[in-house]
Amino acid sequence: MKTSLFLPYQLKWIYDDSPLRLAEKSVRIGWTFADAFKNVRKRLRNPRRDYLFSSKDQTTAVEYVSTCYQFCELFNHTKCILSHGIENWKMPIYKDGRNTGFTEDFKVGYIKFDNRSRIISFSSNPHALRAYGGDVGLDEFAFHASPEELWASASGRITWGFDLALWSSHNGTDSLFYTFCREAAQGKGGWSHYRVTLEDAINYGLVEKINQVRGAKLSRQNFLQHCKDRSRLPEVFAQEYMCNPTGGTGGIVPWSAIERCMIDYEIERLHLEEHQIVDIFGEFSCEHQLARERQIESAIDQAFKKLFSSKERHRLGFDCAASGRGNLCVIYVDELEGGYGGTARLAGLFTCRTQDWNFIKTVLHTFMLRLHSVEGCGDSTGLGRQICWETAKRFGGYFSAVNFASEKHDIGFTLMNQLAVGEKRFPRSERDIASDFFALRKHFTGSKWLFTESANCLNPNSHCDIAWAGGLASKANRRYADCGGAVA
């Protein structure tokens, strides 16, 4: 084995065949890379022994198999591979432990060796593992949407003498991963326990390895500082890089409640990045403003034809984050079912990342003009103040500018109640929307709930922007229901 490929902590993981292995580690220090090598090696050395790898999303799962195949190429073992690739699978959808009769499409990566061992790489669906037995690896376990179900499924796969490994950076102090880490640190649970911070990895030679592979000339000090700068907040750096979890808040509702809000239907959805807006509509200029606004309106009309032709009652939430690189600007549109205060079903979603104020305002006003029976609320604090003020003036009585800072508690509490009883619905196929609601966190201060945001692992650009826009749509419904149900 070419041990020069790996750093000491990676080699220790590769050679460790303990039945239970757990690693709390910094992001981006090559842990999954080492695990891929470990399990190519182990499959070649052990006939009829499968490896079941599960990660938080399909992209990572597919990338894992690709890395495994590259190791086979590097060490000239492709002749041992019978087949490899990506397959589209359908998986039954369970609710409260029962098969609903519906299925979910997802991709599975695989490598089949001539000794009848296999590497099978899944996304985070906990039920996908249940048809198999073998060694199990759970990547980024702290960020799985349903860790308890995944653990129950994974731990059952190793009954016949196989082993189980999980590794992750931290995601708060209320995760199952954190519980396992505390257990392992106390010498309980039978874990072979690893804890590798970014500083540990640097001391083991991470920066020199990056320089060697990438042809860079980074110094250890500069590399560490760049990581701190990218983190922006000390608590982010502590959690992501230094294995020090922060926060003790829980999701506003359990994942099982989120699942009850997910139903099988399609919505119209559009996302535009800043460069796409410039490419399609050009830069803003006073001289061509009217023509450009007509072009924007036409594009939105085409993207949301079905939504704009609907005669249902609509509630719109607008959350503004004007940045070409940061959070999302979101327009979230619900259709009401069963009268005021009843079930709200997401019907259309527009998101973008741009600093073009004229573009954002034009899109918002197009929605307000085209939607039937619409009432809306927008976040008027910070970046959205001017747009919300202009929209409230133009659509007086149908759009309200909300002081989000002072209303956040009420909006969060409304969302918590709606999600808990299944009165806030969204399509099952748009998994990042469900993940955004699940990323909302609550903490009881003794007198009221405090609502905060955590990472959306399926849509890193949204820092619960989609969820809060959905909350503003609920606020619009609640506000007008409370004052007599005025209808546009």
Residues 400-449 have pLDDT tens digits of 999 988 888 889 989 999 999 999 999 999 999 999 998 898 876 556 67
Please say if the pLDDT value at position 380 is more than 80: yes
User: Which pLDDT belongs to residue 451?
Assistant: 86
Asked whether the whole model's pTM tops 0.75, one would answer: no
Looking at residue 239, its pLDDT comes to: 86
Q: CA–CA separation, 264 vs 437, rounded Å?
A: 18
Indicate the pairing of strand 268-273 with strand 440-444. Answer: unpaired
Mean pLDDT of 99-103: 73
Residues of the chain with CATH 3.30.420.240: 250-482
Q: Are 128 and 55 in contact (CB under 8 A)?
A: no
Two tokens at 13?
């993981």
- pLDDT band for position 126 (50/70/90)? confident
Angle at the Cα of 233 (from 232 to 238), degrees rounded to 5? 115
Q: Would you say residue 339 has pLDDT above 80?
A: no
CATH-assigned architecture of domain 3-241: 3-Layer(aba) Sandwich (3.40)
Does the pLDDT of residue 1 top 60, yes or no?
Answer: no
Note the pLDDT of residue 488. 33
Q: Which of 20, 42, 72, 395 is nearest to 193 (CA)?
A: 20
Count of beta carbons in the 10 Å neighbourhood of residue 213:
10
Of residues 311 and 454, the one with the higher pLDDT is 311
The terminus-to-terminus CA distance of the chain in angstroms comes to 71
Cβ neighbors of 255 (< 8 A, separation 6 or more) are: 145, 146, 149, 438
Local structure of 190: helix, strand or coil: coil
pLDDT band at 237, cuts 50/70/90? confident
Are the CB atoms for 306 and 333 separated by under 8 Å? Answer: no
Q: Looking up tokens 């090696």, which residue turns up? A: 41
Which CATH fold topology does 250-482 show? Nucleotidyltransferase; domain 5 (3.30.420)
Is residue 208 left, alpha or beta, with left meaning phi > 0 and alpha meaning psi from -120 to 50? alpha
With contact defined as beta carbons under 8 Å apart, do 92 and 102 qualify?
Answer: yes
In a 10 Å sphere around its CB, with 0-12 CB exposed, 13-18 middle and 19+ buried, how is residue 168 labelled?
A: buried
For residue 91, what pLDDT is reported?
A: 73
Instruction: Say if residue 452's pLDDT is above 90.
Output: no
Measure Cα distances from 478 to 341, 349, 357, 395, 429 in Å.
6, 20, 28, 18, 27
DSSP state of 75: T
What is the chain's alpha carbon radius of gyration, rounded to the nearest angstrom? 25
Q: In what order do the strands lie in the sheet with 81-95?
A: 81-95, 98-113, 118-122, 51-54, 135-139, 164-168, 20-25, 192-196
Local structure of 82: helix, strand or coil? strand
Q: Give the mean pLDDT of 134-161.
A: 90
CATH 3.40.50.300 segments of the chain? 3-241
Q: For position 447, what pLDDT does the model report?
A: 61
Give the pLDDT of residue 49: 97
Among the listed residues 469, 468, 475, the one whose alpha carbon sits nearest the alpha carbon of residue 341: 475
pLDDT of residue 39 exceeding 70, the answer is yes
Two tokens at 333? 């549109």
Question: Would the pLDDT of 325 be above 50?
Answer: no
pLDDT of residue 337: 82
Alpha-carbon span 240 to 26, nearest angstrom: 6
Spatial CA neighbour of 483 closest among 378, 365, 400, 369:
400
For the chain, percent helix, then strand, then coil, each to nearest 5?
A: 45, 25, 30
- Which of 4-18, 92-106, 171-185 ranks highest by mean pLDDT? 4-18
One-letter identity of residue 128: A
Residues 197, 463: Cα–Cα separation, whole Å? 25
pLDDT band at 104 (very low <50, low <70, confident <90, very high): confident
Over the chain, what is the mean pLDDT? 88
Question: CA separation (Å) from 333 to 304, 377, 390, 415, 472?
Answer: 11, 11, 20, 15, 10
